[in-house]
């Protein structure tokens, strides 16, 4: 399958982008007669796609279900009781809804952590997106055995999955997973070379509780003693960290996932972006789940990430648009083991076409500045992932069916959760 994006703006110039299979074959004038599919780029700007490095995709069904609460109240008294009512088809349709939302916003990859991941895998395979999907572990979950059975069955058929899908091991957090579980996860990550995805130092309560229970060690220090931290580890949130923690994270090559919108909404705090970058820590960007955000827009995350980092450093130069944009694109791709995040010959064909006539992109003195500070999902026109067109001129096939089924599942879930 070959695709030609004809006469598109790339890096300020008009050109063609040729795609063969799932990679960019060439950039420059091409003979349209040689391609299977032609995409008219005359009124479009080609940019790299987004890579969302921390999500709980089925939680689209809980968007707006419980807002404006403390984290543990939100989890213990609202979210976890509702999640206990979820059925496998809810996981599937919730993820389909998340995939559709991400495609509309120019995201082609997400790193997911949720229980019963088989439904998530099915949804991603059908959507055409890329994803790393976590085999979820929570020692405190009432349905622990069911969750582990689903993950075990998924792992046993891992060789049958789409090449766009990776599996990871995903212990929820240090306050829901014991030492034995965390050590076993670290061993599995090392043995099979797979990602390990875990919440780390999200709240002050977690930070203080860890120090009290583990001889004064911070969550980062504690996880390091268990062998959890490595270049395969995605540490979601990483809000409450010491200077020593950051040195450990940098030395181990851990990827810290900045989730500014969710962290602000739950008042968890903020990842210290400037200090982390200055210490050489790998930082990537994520949205978290839609029940704590409440959308999956990486445009929102970029703008908020920049603004709060300026505020935290009491300086308008506390964050720069180029580094914020790189965190959302190239950094996420590289951390996830993908040869993508830039539009270059030979790279994986993950490309977003923006509407060049969009008011939010006009004028275009600095495209990256516009993307970080003014653009939104309405600017996204066409999305190509792994060399396949997933959305063309704002249209995604099967969208009405996804909306209808997501609404049906949410209605049943609400009735079950409220008795």
Query: What are the angstrom distances between the C-alpha of 127 and each of 123, 130, 158, 162, 371?
Result: 6, 9, 18, 11, 25
Q: Between the CA of residue 157 and those of 152, 227, 239, 363, 369, what are the distances in Å?
A: 9, 27, 36, 50, 44
Phi, psi of 375 (to 5 degrees): -70, 155
pLDDT digits (tens, 9 = 90+) for 31-66: 999 999 999 999 999 999 999 999 999 999 999 988
The single residue listed with the structure tokens 């495209």 is 367
Supply the Cα-derived Rg of the chain in whole angstroms: 21
Contact 367, 379 (CB under 8 A): no
> Domains plus CATH for the chain?
2-47+350-397 (2.30.40.10), 50-335 (3.20.20.140)
The CA-CA-CA angle for residues 377, 51, 325, to 5°, reads: 70
Predicted confidence (pLDDT) per residue in 64-80, tens digit:
988 888 778 887 888 88
d(CA 57, CA 64): 14
Segment 296-306 mean pLDDT: 98
H-run or E-run covering 385:
strand 380-385
Residue 98 DSSP class: H
Distance, C-alpha 65 to centroid of its chain: 21
- Residue 73's pLDDT is what? 85
> Is the pLDDT at 417 greater than 80, yes or no?
no
State whether the Cα torsion 10-15-20-21 is positive or negative: positive
Give the tens place of pLDDT for each residue, 336-383. 999 999 999 999 999 999 999 999 999 999 999 999 999 999 999 999
Give the C-alpha distances (Å, rounded to integers) separating 122 from 22, 161, 171, 319: 21, 9, 21, 38
Residue 419 is predicted with a pLDDT of 67
Q: Give the helix ranges, DSSP H, for 160-252.
A: 179-192, 204-213, 219-225, 243-252
Q: In residues, how long is the chain?
A: 419
Residue 401's CB is within 10 A of a number of other CB atoms, namely 11
Q: Give this prediction's pTM.
A: 0.97
Q: Which two tokens stand for residue 93?
A: 């349709």
Residues 6+ apart with CB under 8 A from 88: 116, 118, 119
Residue 145 — pLDDT band, cuts 50, 70, 90? confident
For the stretch 169-214, pLDDT in tens is: 999 999 999 999 999 999 999 999 999 999 999 999 999 999 999 9
pLDDT above 90: residue 143: no
Residue whose structure tokens are 């504690």: 222
Copy the structure tokens of residue 274.
Answer: 């400037």
Task: Write down the pLDDT at residue 180.
Answer: 97
- Token pair, residue 10, equals 């790339």
Residue found under tokens 């008011």: 359
pLDDT of residue 272 exceeding 80: yes
């Amino acid at each position: 399958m070959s695709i030609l994006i004809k006469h598109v703006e790339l890096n300020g110039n008009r050109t063609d982008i040729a795609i063969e299979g799932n990679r960019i074959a060439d950039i420059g004038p091409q003979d349209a007669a040689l391609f299977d599919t032609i995409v008219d780029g005359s009124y479009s700007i080609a940019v790299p796609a987004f890579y969302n490095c921390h999500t709980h995709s089925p939680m689209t069904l809980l968007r707006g279900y419980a807002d404006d609460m403390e984290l543990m109240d939100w989890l213990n008294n609202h979210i976890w009781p509702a999640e206990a009512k979820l059925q496998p088809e809810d996981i599937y349709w919730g993820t389909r809804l998340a995939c559709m939302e991400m495609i509309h916003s120019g995201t082609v990859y997400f790193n997911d952590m949720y229980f019963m991941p088989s439904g998530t895998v099915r949804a991603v395979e059908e959507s055409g997106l890329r994803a790393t999907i976590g085999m979820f572990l929570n020692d405190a979950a009432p349905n622990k055995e069911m969750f582990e059975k689903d993950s075990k069955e998924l792992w046993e058929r891992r060789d049958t999955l789409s090449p766009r899908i990776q599996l990871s091991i995903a212990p929820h957090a240090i306050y829901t997973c014991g030492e034995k579980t965390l050590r076993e996860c670290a061993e599995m990550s090392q043995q099979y070379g797979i990602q390990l995805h875990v919440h780390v130092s999200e709240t002050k309560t977690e930070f203080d509780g860890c120090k009290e229970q583990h001889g004064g060690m911070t969550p980062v220090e504690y996880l390091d003693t268990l062998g959890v931290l490595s270049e395969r580890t995605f540490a979601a949130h990483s809000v409450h960290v010491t200077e020593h923690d950051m040195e450990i994270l940098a030395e181990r090559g851990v990827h810290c996932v900045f989730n500014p919108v969710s962290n602000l909404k739950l008042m968890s705090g903020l990842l210290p972006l400037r200090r982390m970058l200055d210490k050489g820590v790998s930082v990537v960007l994520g949205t978290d789940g839609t029940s704590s955000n409440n959308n999956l827009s990486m445009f929102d995350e970029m703008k908020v990430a920049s603004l709060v980092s300026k505020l935290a450093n009491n300086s308008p130069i506390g964050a720069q648009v180029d580094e914020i944009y790189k965190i959302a694109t190239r950094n996420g791709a590289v951390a996830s083991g993908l040869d993508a995040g830039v539009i270059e010959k030979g790279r994986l064909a993950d490309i977003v076409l923006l509407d060049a006539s969009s008011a939010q992109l006009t004028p275009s003195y600095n495209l990256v500045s516009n993307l970080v500070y003014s653009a939104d999902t309405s600017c996204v026109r066409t999305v190509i992932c792994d060399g396949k067109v997933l959305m063309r001129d704002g249209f995604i096939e099967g969208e009405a069916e996804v909306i209808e089924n997501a609404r049906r599942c949410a209605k049943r879930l609400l009735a079950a959760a409220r008795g």
